[in-house]
Copies of this chain bind each other. A is one copy, B any other.
Amino acid sequence: MPFNENASGVYVIAATPFHTDGRLDVPSIDRLTDYYLESGVAGITVLGVMGEAPKLDAAESIALVRQVVKRAAKVPVVVGVTSPGFAPMRALAREAIEAGASAVMIAPPNTLRTDDAVVAYYASAAEALGADVPFVVQDYPLGFSVVMTPEVLRRIVTDNPSCRMLKVEDWPSLEKISALRKLELDGRMKHVSILTGNGALFVDFELERGSDGVMSGYAFTEVMVELVKLAKAGRRDAAHDLFDAHLPLIRYEQQPGVGLAVRKYLLRKRGVIASDVQRKPGASLSVTARAEVDYLLARAERASAAAGYARPTAVA
């Protein structure tokens, strides 16, 4: 599948469905992939943090990649290959690309400190992967404790032709997106795709600031797709109306530690995956939390409808 610096739209962060006994749930993987495609995603990102990547062994990781690549067919698949070392990173990346994946995503180890250390890390990673493996830089300081200035990102993009996309989930992200786009406008940085994450909490303004789309796993993928469409169509108020209708739930879903449990609970409730179990270490929702999610869901449905959108619970 084509994947380049012009990528845009929603590259959904895919959950990884397990059976209640902990095995990969292949039918649910297929159903989830179908749901993402029907929602209109531009791509699928597997083995991200929210995909419980570290909990899969090497064989399971590549099996999951193969399954999703085969099912997704029409859209590019990006594979998280973040690893404490370049050898296992390279091994997974090359297997993934051979299996048909389009690109890989790399977060920095949380021990990096100086600008030069970050730049050198990505240079080594790019060399380990090989020039033919496109990669995405995951810039997520809250999760990884590594802060990259726009200038550091510029150096990484400039030094490594195979860097095609930035997943900007700095907190705050808005001025950073503006700064990166200005570097490009000033001719100081080549164009790369910028997608944003951070639990989609700022996606309304991120799109206005110049991002190309969203790399989020919010349980209502079709809402993210619609948001990107509205923003690209310049329908500002409509985009904010839809976003605001979902913000209470988006906010609830991005709680650290609990967020994935909320997401899987919603995907199961909607019939997309069979079980919301996580592999250890994983959180589960208390009875109270489930009731809170149900309450927010009902409110989001009403608010969505009031804003002129279909009820988000309808799964095709």
Q: Given A147-B113, A248-B247, A256-B172, is A281 in contact with B55 using a C-beta cutoff of 8 Å?
A: no
B286 to A87, Cβ gap below 8 A?
no
A87 to B56, Cβ gap below 8 A?
yes
Q: Given A88-B57, A88-B58, A292-B205, is A248 in contact with B256 using a C-beta cutoff of 8 Å?
A: no
Please name all residues of chain B whose beta carbon is closer than 8 Å to the beta carbon of A289 when the two chains form the complex.
174-175
Q: How far, in whole Å, are A202 and B254 apart by their CA atoms in the complex?
A: 11
Q: Given A114-B115, A120-B281, A151-B116, is A58 in contact with B58 using a C-beta cutoff of 8 Å?
A: yes
Please name all residues of chain B whose beta carbon is closer than 8 Å to the beta carbon of A201 when the two chains form the complex.
251
Please name all residues of chain B whose beta carbon is closer than 8 Å to the beta carbon of A88 when the two chains form the complex.
54, 56-58
Please name all residues of chain B whose beta carbon is closer than 8 Å to the beta carbon of A149 when the two chains form the complex.
114-116
Please name all residues of chain B whose beta carbon is closer than 8 Å to the beta carbon of A281 when the two chains form the complex.
86, 120-121, 124
Closest Cβ of chain B to A12, distance in Å, is 22
B60 to A114, Cβ gap below 8 A?
no
B91, B111, B172, B299: the one contacting A240 at CB < 8 Å is: B299
Decide yes or no whether A309 CB sits under 8 A from chain B: no
Closest Cβ of chain B to A245, distance in Å, is 9
Closest Cβ of chain B to A151, distance in Å, is 7
Q: How far, in whole Å, are A295 and B299 apart by their CA atoms in the complex?
A: 24
Decide yes or no whether A255 CB sits under 8 A from chain B: yes
| Residues 299-314 of chain A, each 1 if its beta carbon lies under 8 Å from chain B, else 0 | 1000100000000000
A86 to B55, Cβ gap below 8 A?
yes
Decide yes or no whether A63 CB sits under 8 A from chain B: no
Decide yes or no whether A25 CB sits under 8 A from chain B: no
B87, B151, B243, B280: the one contacting A279 at CB < 8 Å is: B87
Decide yes or no whether A99 CB sits under 8 A from chain B: no
Please name all residues of chain B whose beta carbon is closer than 8 Å to the beta carbon of A85 when the two chains form the complex.
53-57
Please name all residues of chain B whose beta carbon is closer than 8 Å to the beta carbon of A57 when the two chains form the complex.
85, 87-88, 90-91
B87, B121, B244, B252: the one contacting A299 at CB < 8 Å is: B244
Decide yes or no whether A187 CB sits under 8 A from chain B: no
A110 to B110, Cβ gap below 8 A?
yes
Q: Which A positions have Cβ atoms within 8 angstroms of B?
A: 53-60, 83-88, 90-91, 110-111, 113-117, 120-121, 124, 127-128, 141, 146-149, 151-152, 171-172, 174-175, 178, 201-202, 204-205, 208-209, 240, 243-244, 247-248, 251-252, 255-258, 279-281, 286, 288-289, 292, 295, 299, 303
Q: Can you offer 25 A-B residue contacts whose CB atoms are under 8 A?
A: A53-B85, A54-B83, A55-B87, A56-B88, A57-B87, A57-B90, A58-B91, A60-B87, A83-B84, A86-B279, A113-B113, A113-B141, A113-B147, A114-B147, A114-B149, A115-B115, A116-B151, A120-B281, A121-B281, A127-B280, A128-B280, A174-B255, A202-B255, A209-B288, A244-B247
> Beyond the given A57-B87, A86-B280, A172-B258, could you list 9 further A-B residue pairs with CB under 8 A, ordered by the A residue number?
A54-B83, A55-B86, A57-B88, A57-B91, A60-B87, A113-B113, A113-B146, A240-B299, A247-B247
